Amino acid sequence: MPDSLQELFSTDREAAAFFATLPMFVQDQVRARAEDVHSREELASLANNFAREGLKQSQYQPIFEDETDSRIDLQ
């Protein structure tokens, strides 16, 4: 089992590729907890948790707001 995030990346190209696709704020948080990442599964779990928590921030709320006009009759 890898002892560090960098060691994981050097032995698991899929983990490194997955990490590269993450938003920067998630990458930063994963790096801060690098000692907790020893497998691709742990990396994915941490990344998912950080992404979920990050998207709860007020700056991202407009992404999830429904801007459709409820008066539109779709029938």
Domain positions in the chain: 5-59
pLDDT of residue 26: 92
> pTM for the full model?
0.72
Tens place of pLDDT for every residue, the chain, 75 residues?
A: 667 899 999 999 999 999 999 999 899 999 999 998 999 999 999 999 999 888 787 877 676 666 665 565 555
Query: Please, is 32 exposed, middle or buried when counting C-beta atoms within 10 Å of its C-beta (0-12, 13-18, 19+)?
Result: exposed
